[in-house]
Structure 1
Amino acid sequence: MSVRPWLSPGALRPGARAALTAVSWLTSPLSPDDYLGLIDPLWSARHPAGRVSAVRREAAGAATLVIRPGRGWNGHRAGQYLPLGVEIDGVRHWRTYSITSPPGDTPGSEITVTVKARTDGRVSPHLVHRTAPGAVLRLGPAQGEFVLPRPLPGRLLFVTAGSGITPVVGMLRTLARHGGVTSDTLLLHSAPSPAECLFRAELVALERRLPWLSVRLTHTRTEGRLTTGRIGELCPDWRRRETWACGPAGLLDAAERQWAAAGVRERLRVERFHLVPVRAPGAGAVGGRVRFDRSAVEADATAASSLLAVGESAGVPMPHGCRRGLCFGCLVPLLDGRVRDLRTGELRGNPGELIQTCVNGAAGPLVLDL
């Protein structure tokens, strides 16, 4: 089936988008966007999707998926993670993976995620061993604050272990692509063995090519774990460097203690691959009136209430999965207003943005496309 140019992903002009909006009442309860998505999932803006264009085998049990995103994809920052939705036996499962490609220079630029198959998992092995070029995956919004600041500090330190290298390699690729980097950058990475080290050949090649980058690899089967003592030996000036750390909980916990004891905890940024607990809203936080647009239902929400709980209490059929912010099965487009992340307190709100209703609350009046 050929794609007509005026319907290619990302190609709808403002006038065309306005026309779709103007006739949406004719197709209610479905929108014109819903019908576009039935023709080709990559044409949908409400439910962003991407098509796998290549699968590259990495270290043992790991693969990189090259994904061409459709029209609903809004881009990412280096270091962020991406919720991926994959159909397995007729059921859609959501998991999050760090984006390993630099941000695209143009809309629709390919993105990559590198997935390591867990022996006790279902989604990751499916993506690594059973996903082929041509497969369509649902895309959630890129998220996370484990990113590089602007301007760059003078000295950078990355401390990673295992698959914790994935967000950092996206940062390194971004720095390498844009050039002009003068920051003294050191990567300390730990993997079980050379054969199990993700991106090993690329990291070695980057170090040879980039005068500002130094890479130190530790192989735990022969040298032991990467400890904070070892970090101090390999990087004596770690106290004076801005640091990004990602890996097993033990390594991150030890790093947090060491940086705090040295009085430089603010220089350490940590990315953990697990659930972030919901916390009580800060003083002055307010809720708001929530309108569920398609259901024509309105309900009041407190600052501490999840939008999922508010909708269910009001009798609105709410999509959901784990209810803990992990599976992204509750994504809903935000039409108007702002939401508060109940885990971090972060406020955001862009029309059309997909939000997780189980871990976001109202920050004033808002409208959901439900």
Structure 2
Amino acid sequence: MRAVAWLTTPLAPDDYLGLLDPLLSARHPAGRVTAVRSEGPGAATLTIRPGRGRPEHRAGQYLPVGVEIDGVRHWRTYSLTSPPDVPGGELTITVKADPRGRVSPHLVHRTRPGTVLRLGPVQGEFTLPDPPPARLLMVTAGSGITPVMGILRTPARGLGVRGAKGAAPDVVLLHSAPTPEESLFRSELAVLAETLGWLRVEERHTRAVGRLTAEHIAALCPDWRERQTWACGPDGLLDLVEEHWAGAGVGARLRLERFRLAPLTSPDGCEPGLSGGRVQFGRGGVEVDSGAAVPLLETGEAAGAVMPYGCRRGVCFGCLVPLLHGRVRDLRAGEVHGEPGELIQTCVNGAAGPLALDLRVPPLRR
């Protein structure tokens, strides 16, 4: 492989494999859509067959997805609704079309089987511990049901989510949607609740009866204080839940998943003594020094390198660039990481010593 790499320089052998078929590339993982299933008005589930570099995930995590629209690649993140290790290795994401958006309507209404999507690194901490709590409460609204669906489908397939003493868990799901028709997975949840025995589902249709309140939660699940709670949905719901749990002194039993920007660590918040490094942008490209608290995206742009980017806040994954060598530091959590070929979010990672980034990303085949 070293000899082949020398012959193919400045490209890597993996780059040529990706040109033959995007699913053959391990450095730039991709997947092919094999099915698109309607999930009611304005929503669809996409089944994706990943290629080399298939992302491993835990139930409740999310996946960055890159889609080309009019020749421009856009990145968005979607919760994985498939349980881990399904036969055949296929993944599913369920997308709710935002009429104000560009990517979600494209995925829901214009994506067909055979479409190739880029796949980023799986992330997210909205997962159950092992073993899971014996008693769970899940509070969701709208598309906030998607990570919870991945969690609920895991024990339904017998993949090991059991209670602390081997017994089935006791789970209550409180879900809000505007109407019954817009309630994602409604039929499947009814079947799961009937067949599993340990799941109770309570739906609230806000267009008819209004939004979920703290009083409704207490009425539908009187023992909510004693349960470990996972909540996902719009900010209004999560702010309500967070305030209510904190007021009752049980905030430690609550885990939230917000579909919005995460705050970045201030550059002044870096630990004393941390140093950056010299960064090379592209094979044989410009080299500059970068501080430990400076995003690689900003360093590259200041040096004149052509850097991909999107939201610039670590959410959309539009800034992913492969790492050739070296290590980077996550500016949000301080974690140092990096392996050759790893996709780096340049807007939220700084240099942790000398490193090189590969700015030449082969395009998707149409």
Check whether TM > 0.5: yes
Match of 2:130 in 1: 150
Q: After superposition, what is the alpha-carbon deviation per residue over 1:1-51, rounded to whole angstroms, capped at 9, x for unaligned? A: xxxxxxxxxxxxxxxxxx2x4421211221111111111111111211100
Instruction: Name the structure, 1 or 2, with higher relative contact order (CA <8 Å, separation 6+).
Output: 2
Residue 222 of structure 1 and its aligned partner are, at CA, apart by: 2.2
2:276 aligned to 284, 288, 299, which one? Answer: 288
Alignment-mate amino acid for residue 201 of structure 1: S
Say whether 1:215 aligns with 2:201. yes
Alignment-mate amino acid for residue 286 of structure 1: L
Say whether 1:233 aligns with 2:219. yes
Match of 2:57 in 1: 76
Runs of 4+ in 1 over 4 A off after TM superposition: none
Gaps of 5+ in 2: 163-167, 360-366
Q: Which SS does the other structure have where 1:23 is aligned? A: helix
1:173 aligned to 153, 162, 175, which one? Answer: 153
Does the Cα contact within 8 Å between 2:233 and 2:258 map onto a contact in 1?
yes
Gaps of 5+ in 1: 1-18
Q: Which SS does the other structure have where 2:151 is aligned? A: helix
Residue 259 of structure 1 and its aligned partner are, at CA, apart by: 1.1
Q: Whole-Å Cα distance in 2 between the matches of residues 100 and 222 of structure 1?
A: 28
Distance 1:172 1:350, change over 3 A: farther
Distance 1:334 1:242, change over 3 A: farther
Q: Which SS does the other structure have where 2:138 is aligned? A: strand
Q: Whole-Å Cα distance in 2 between the matches of residues 358 and 144 of structure 1?
A: 18
Match of 2:109 in 1: 129
Match of 2:4 in 1: 23
Distance 1:229 1:366, change over 3 A: farther
Does the Cα contact within 8 Å between 1:52 and 1:66 map onto a contact in 2?
yes
Tell which deviates more after alignment, 178-187 or 73-82.
Answer: 178-187
Alignment length (residue pairs): 350
Identity value in percent: 68
Q: Whole-Å Cα distance in 2 between the matches of residues 284 and 262 of structure 1?
A: 38
Match of 2:37 in 1: 56
1:96 aligned to 77, 82, 96, which one? Answer: 77
- With structure 1 as the length reference, what TM-score do the two structures score? 0.89
Residue 77 of structure 1 and its aligned partner are, at CA, apart by: 1.5
- With structure 2 as the length reference, what TM-score do the two structures score? 0.89
Alignment-mate amino acid for residue 328 of structure 1: F
Residue 229 of structure 1 and its aligned partner are, at CA, apart by: 1.7
Q: Whole-Å Cα distance in 1 between the matches of residues 206 and 318 of structure 2?
A: 37
Alignment-mate amino acid for residue 108 of structure 2: V
Residue 284 of structure 1 and its aligned partner are, at CA, apart by: 4.4
Does the Cα contact within 8 Å between 2:277 and 2:352 map onto a contact in 1?
no
Alignment of 1:1-370 (within 5 A): 19=1, 21-104=2-85, 109-177=89-157, 178=159, 181=162, 182-280=168-266, 281-284=269-272, 286-292=274-280, 294-295=283-284, 297-370=286-359
Q: Whole-Å Cα distance in 2 between the matches of residues 35 and 57 of structure 1?
A: 36
Tell which deviates more after alignment, 299-308 or 23-32.
Answer: 299-308
Q: Whole-Å Cα distance in 2 between the matches of residues 314 and 134 of structure 1?
A: 39
Distance 1:253 1:50, change over 3 A: same
Alignment-mate amino acid for residue 30 of structure 2: A
